[in-house]
Chain A
Amino acid sequence: AQSVTQLDSQVPVFEEAPVELRCNYSSSVSVYLFWYVQYPNQGLQLLLKYLSGSTLVKGINGFEAEFNKSQTSFHLRKPSVHISDTAEYFCAVSSTGTASKLTFGTGTRLQVTL
Chain B
Amino acid sequence: QVQLQESGPGLVKSSETLSLTCTVSGGSIVGPHYWNWIRQPPGKGLEWIGFISYSGSTYYNPSLRGRVTISVNTSKNQFSLKLNFVTAADTAVYYCASLRGGTYSPWGQGTPVTVSS
User: Do A and B come from the same complex?
Assistant: no
Q: Please give the residue numbers on chain A whose beta carbons come within 8 Å of chain B beta carbons, in ascending order.
A: none
Q: Please give the residue numbers on chain B whose beta carbons come within 8 Å of chain A beta carbons, in ascending order.
A: none
